[in-house]
């Protein structure tokens, strides 16, 4: 039985690649995309989600718009990484489909409570929608199967401040609520996503398949390559797609049970995620954290899945 997942997202180049990977993976059934502000505004995120699904001929997957601003912090976007459009240099046509006429928070609550312990949520943007759903419906925490979150930097440097990772930094108050919700959590932080790099050589390989999918990937990641060059990086980190490794290639990840806290004060370490490796807090683990990954092998799985998706959608 494929794992039934809802992706909560702010697309975003690597968010888009995560949708494509989910659609290309028989181990996964993508039930819906719920959108949030983050890399881009909510409006742009929702339009991108619809357009990417249409590109992948998956227009039947519902898209539901959620939070417009983080819980406490002002809105921040990341055009320097994802471009103004959120999908780099890719040109997506205006989507034909419309979002579901319901707020993502209500949609998540309704879907999860209708089928307790059946649905997993994969948040790959700021955690605003998930925190709001937890606060609005206390039964949600026991009914959702699990959260697999892309976020945080546990032993790794931050990518938006020296300490903090983008998704957690954008809404640290939401992260605090989610981390203490009691929901089973797997965290996929920068410690592992920085080891999964898509490089120009991979794009050249993908372009051997003539498809709107491969052309989209090429033009989307160009901005990300340029950004990575600006700090001496070697490629585009597959942050969000790596969450799906927990389903399609779990053997590539090493997880550790850990108590993780987030700084939601407004000082220099706002958004920093702290792992209690020595048990100094005496608190039980609140999540499993991925600390190691066989990154090149994950990239190989990713490329193979993209090749087969692209072959199924030829020009
Ligand atoms: C995370 O931030 C976003 O820019 C990416 O889409 C990813 O979810 C990485 O820090
Ligand atoms: Ca994202």
Under a CB-based contact definition with an 8 Å cutoff, are residues 8 and 123 in contact?
Answer: yes
166 lines ligand 1 (CB under 6 A): yes
109 lines ligand 1 (CB under 6 A): no
Tell me the pLDDT tens digit for each residue of 114-130.
999 999 999 999 999 99
35 lines ligand 1 (CB under 6 A): no
Q: Average pLDDT for residues 204-220, to the nearest whole number?
A: 97
Token pair for 250? 């779990």
16 lines ligand 1 (CB under 6 A): no
According to CATH, the topology of domain 3-312 is Inosine-uridine Nucleoside N-ribohydrolase; Chain A (3.90.245)
287 lines ligand 1 (CB under 6 A): no
Q: For residue 74, give the DSSP letter.
A: P
pLDDT band at 138 (very low <50, low <70, confident <90, very high): very high
Token pair for 147? 């959260």
pLDDT band at 226 (very low <50, low <70, confident <90, very high): confident
- CA 184, distance to chain mean position in Å, is 17
Say how many C-beta atoms besides its own lie within 10 A of residue 137's C-beta: 17
Q: How many angstroms separate the alpha carbon of residue 166 from the centre of ligand 2? A: 9
Short-list 285, 284, 70, 286, CA closest to 180: 286
Q: How many angstroms separate the alpha carbon of residue 283 from the centre of ligand 2? A: 29
List all residues 6 or more positions away from 278 whose beta carbon is below 8 Å from its beta carbon.
Answer: none
The Cα–Cα gap between 65 and 42 comes to: 7
Residue 190 clears pLDDT 80, i.e. is over it: yes
Instruction: Give the angle 211-216-221 at the CA atoms, nearest 5°.
Output: 135
pLDDT of residue 59: 96
Q: Average pLDDT for residues 59-69, to the nearest whole number?
A: 98
φ/ψ of residue 299, rounded to 5:
-60, -40
Q: What does the buried/exposed string (b/e) look like for 2-11 if buried means 16 or more CB atoms within 10 Å of the residue's CB?
A: ebbbbbbbbb
Q: Average pLDDT for residues 136-150, to the nearest whole number?
A: 98
pLDDT of residue 234: 83
Task: Report the nearest atom of ligand 1 relative to the CA of 12.
Answer: 6
pLDDT-above-90 percentage for the chain: 91
Kindly give the pairing relationship between strand 120-123 and strand 3-9: parallel
pLDDT of residue 228: 87
Domain map (residue ranges) of the chain: 3-312
Judge whether 239 counts as a catalytic residue. yes
Task: Judge residue 284's burial from the number of C-beta atoms within 10 Å of its C-beta, 0-12 exposed, 13-18 middle, 19 or more buried.
Answer: exposed
Task: Report the nearest atom of ligand 1 relative to the CA of 190.
Answer: 10
Q: Average pLDDT for residues 203-220, to the nearest whole number?
A: 97
Active-site entry in 82, 103, 202, 239: 239
Token pair for 204? 């050249």
Q: How many angstroms separate the alpha carbon of residue 125 from the centre of ligand 1? A: 6
Tell me the pLDDT tens digit for each residue of 144-164.
999 999 999 999 999 999 999
Under a CB-based contact definition with an 8 Å cutoff, are residues 111 and 32 in contact?
Answer: yes
């Amino acid at each position: 039985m494929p794992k039934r997942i809802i992706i909560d997202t702010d697309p975003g180049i690597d968010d888009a690649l995560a949708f494509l990977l989910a659609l290309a993976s028989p181990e996964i059934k993508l039930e819906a995309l719920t959108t949030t502000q983050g890399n881009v505004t909510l409006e742009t995120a929702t339009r991108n989600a619809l357009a990417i699904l249409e590109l992948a001929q998956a227009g039947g997957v519902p898209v539901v718009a959620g939070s417009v601003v983080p819980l406490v912090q002002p809105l921040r976007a990341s055009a320097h990484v994802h471009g103004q459009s959120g999908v780099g240099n890719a040109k997506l046509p205006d989507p034909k489909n419309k979002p579901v006429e319901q707020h993502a928070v209500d949609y998540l609550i309704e879907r999860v409570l209708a089928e307790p312990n059946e649905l997993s949520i994969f948040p790959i943007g700021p955690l605003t929608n998930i925190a709001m759903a937890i606060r609005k419906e206390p039964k949600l925490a026991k009914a959702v199967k699990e959260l697999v979150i892309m976020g945080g930097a546990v032993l790794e440097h931050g990518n938006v401040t020296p300490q903090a990772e983008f998704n957690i930094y954008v809404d640290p108050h939401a992260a605090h609520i989610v981390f203490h919700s009691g929901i089973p959590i797997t965290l996929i932080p920068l410690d592992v996503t920085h080891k999964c790099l898509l490089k120009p050589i991979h794009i050249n390989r993908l372009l051997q398949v003539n498809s709107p999918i491969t052309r989209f990937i090429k033009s989307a990641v160009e901005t990300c390559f340029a950004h990575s060059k600006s700090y001496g990086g070697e490629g585009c980190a597959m942050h969000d797609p790596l969450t799906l490794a927990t389903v399609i290639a779990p053997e590539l990840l090493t997880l550790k049970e850990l108590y993780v806290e987030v700084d939601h004060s407004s000082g220099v370490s706002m958004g920093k995620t702290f792992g209690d490796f020595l048990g100094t807090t005496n608190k039980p683990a609140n999540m499993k954290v991925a600390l190691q990954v066989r990154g090149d092998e994950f990239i190989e799985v990713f490329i193979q899945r993209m090749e087969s998706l692209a072959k199924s959608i030829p020009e």
